[in-house]
Amino acid sequence: MAGSDTVRLTTAQAIIRHLAAQYIQIDGQEWRLCGGGFGIFGHGNVTCLGEALYDHKDVLPHYRGQNEQSMGFAAAGYAKTWLRQRFMFCTASAGPGTANLLTASALAHANRLPMLMLCGDTFITRLPDPVLQQLEHFGDPTLGVNDAFKAVTRYWDRITHPAQIIQSLPNAIATMLDPADCGPAFLGLPQDVQGWAYDYPLAMFDKTVHRIRRQFPDAAEVADAAATLKAAKRPLIIAGGGVQYSRAVEELTAFAEAHNIPVVETIAGRANMIDTHPLNCGPIGVTGSDSANAVAEKADVILSVGCRLQDFTTGSWTAFAADARIIGLNAGRHDAGKHRSLPLVGDAKLGLDALGAAMAGYTAPSGWVGFAKDERNKWVAYVADNVAQGNRPNSYAQAIGVVNATCDPRDRVVAAAGGLPAEVTANWRTLDIGTVDVEFGFSCMGYEIAGAWGARIAQAEREPDQDVITFCGDGSYLLMNSDIYSSVLSQKKIIVLVLDNGGFAVINKLQNNTGNESFNNLLSDAPTIPQAFAVDFEAHAASMGAAAETVENPTELGEAFKRAKASNKTYVICMKVDAYEGWTTEGHAWWEVGTPHVTENDKVATAHADWESSRPKQRKGV
């Protein structure tokens, strides 16, 4: 019998009741920390967790997904839109349902995004073993599918007794809210334990208001960083995704303006500055801009703010001068010290303020800033020509230009795998802060539509009149498109641009660029396909309840996009683009890929030699 200070609940009921009591303060306003969840029920989660969720359906809305992997992508898109301040849970049944979440968990882990997974598990008593969908490991009966999540989560636990969630659930939430350790959390819920009862302390269900921690940087690290920057003749700021997650965009802009330092953006940091800001030198790296890469190559001191310094940013560590000093301002110690960077561990907002105070009176030489602006002007002219329509084949860049010129400044743009992330990164001209989501942390096909759906759910809570626009290749569409149906069912409108180039054209491009013949990437070059045929994407999208149309060229695309904006339901626009021509050919830093050291193909051998010719520029971590 529960006492006056306890309440008797099942494990599942206690988890959901605790989640419902958690809030977060954002800009002076309280929001429920968990925005709800995505779930597909099966025998491993419907009878107990489903019962608990039903009782909280009004405060924790439960979106029924079509695929567990895409549910995870939607949760990631939601978390990105809320700048990691709020999260969604995903629930899946034991076995294949849970296994389907592995890819989504890896995406959230790579991108440092909060997502809570509440997944079914085998019976802890083992009395009915082996059960439906259970994997048996003959030498280790404790090992199962859920153990695979240890590699792709920041927090992992298997609940074997109801009392364990008193500690485990708050620890999972704390991990998801930690600026340095943020990432997905996984709770394995055995089917019997979900329904076991326990006398939980009532205090566990008191309303709790969270705030995301801001860590002050160490004074000595600030002094070292300031001294290094003040001695710079050619300073540069690299702005990463962490700038937005710490809500430090204003501080970054003020710091750059006060010291007249050029700024370049990573893929995750796109939309830290609007396109027209005079210190914005464009995106950096493999999918960057000539302007940003030219400035990075000459910089003597680089302030990296909120960056992972992934190879697409660093050009596999060839983008910077060999003797350039890097200062790593980051909430995470691991990121702050990469490649022997001078670490400045702390919150970006507080770190920029402290560093700015220590650098009072310093401004970068005018000749350096003039060089950066000249390079930027050249790039702006290139992009204007690249996205222009005319007597040329349909291209990704043209489609991007049409949407860019027509959309509302606060509309959110989404892209993920294939050629579109590079094309969006290079050609999209940012109209407003925080409006671009290019998922390239895990470069995951299928995120485009599912992530857009999750972003729209989040956006509807704060900016309901804006649109989420997702650029999707035919390959990604065919991989995962069912959340068009989800968006229609939930009345969360998204605009999907399906740009069809007849296969996996960007990998075909890499294949050709390394001297190889086109093989098994484009449908027309697949030896096991006797005769390829075009998919009717318009009819397919319409069959899921979306409004859909096919256009022949960018001019028609512009008119169709206006109709999509005016529509109150999910809208899919399809257009064919050329697989070989129309790619953005400028702005690329070197990227290390494995090419054959021995081959009988002269073209492959030549490409290998050309590729290796840039290796001497590669920093060796010193």
pLDDT tier at 391 (50, 70, 90 boundaries)?
confident
> Does position 622 have pLDDT exceeding 60, yes or no?
no
Amino acid 164: pLDDT: 98
CATH code matching the domain that covers 6-210, chosen among 3.30.1360.30, 3.20.20.70, 3.30.70.3270, 3.40.50.970: 3.40.50.970
Asked whether this chain's domains 219-378 and 388-576 adopt the same fold, the reply is yes
188: nearest Cα among 141, 219, 155:
155
448: nearest Cα among 474, 497, 415, 482:
415
Q: At what angle do helices 11-20 and 165-177 cross, to 10 degrees?
A: 40
For 305-331, how does the pLDDT look when each residue is reduced to its tens digit (9 = 90+)? Answer: 999 999 999 999 999 999 999 999 999
Q: pLDDT exceeding 70 applies to what percent of the chain?
A: 99
* Secondary structure percentages of the chain, helix, strand, coil, to 5: 40, 20, 40
Amino acid 2: pLDDT: 61
- Cis peptide bond N-terminal to 596, omega within 30: no
pLDDT tier at 4 (50, 70, 90 boundaries)?
confident
For 266-320, how does the pLDDT look when each residue is reduced to its tens digit (9 = 90+)? Answer: 999 999 999 999 999 999 999 999 999 999 999 999 999 999 999 999 999 999 9
Amino acid 460: pLDDT: 96
Q: What is the mean pLDDT of the chain?
A: 96
CB 315 within 8 A of CB 293: yes
φ/ψ (deg, to 5) at 284? -105, 155
What the block records as the tokens of 357 is: 């105070």
φ/ψ (deg, to 5) at 88? -120, 155
For 477-510, how does the pLDDT look when each residue is reduced to its tens digit (9 = 90+)? Answer: 999 999 999 999 999 999 999 999 999 999 999 9
157: nearest Cα among 126, 193, 130, 209:
193
Give 140: exposed, middle or buried? Use CB within 10 Å, 0-12, 13-18, 19+.
Answer: exposed
Q: Give the start-to-end residue ranges of the domains of the chain.
A: 6-210, 219-378, 388-576
Q: pLDDT exceeding 90 applies to what percent of the chain?
A: 96
78: nearest Cα among 466, 488, 461, 481:
461
Q: Which residues of 391-522 form beta strands (DSSP E)?
A: 412-415, 436-438, 468-473, 495-500
CA pair distance 55, 515, nearest whole angstrom: 60
Amino acid 390: pLDDT: 86
CA pair distance 474, 245, nearest whole angstrom: 31
Amino acid 99: pLDDT: 97
Average pLDDT over residues 44-50: 96
Class of the CATH domain delimited by 388-576: alpha beta
CA pair distance 54, 61, nearest whole angstrom: 9
Sheet holding 571-576: strands in order across? 436-438, 412-415, 468-473, 495-500, 571-576, 547-551
Q: Cα dist. 492→247, 452, 455 in Å?
A: 26, 10, 10
Sheet holding 29-32: strands in order across? 29-32, 22-26, 208-210
0.95 cut: is pTM over it?
yes
| H and E: helices and strands count for the chain | 24, 23
CATH code matching the domain that covers 219-378, chosen among 1.20.1250.20, 3.40.50.2300, 1.20.140.10, 3.40.50.1220: 3.40.50.1220
Mention every residue, 6+ apart, whose C-beta is less than 8 A from residue 187: 15, 116, 117, 118, 119, 157, 158, 159, 165, 168, 169, 172
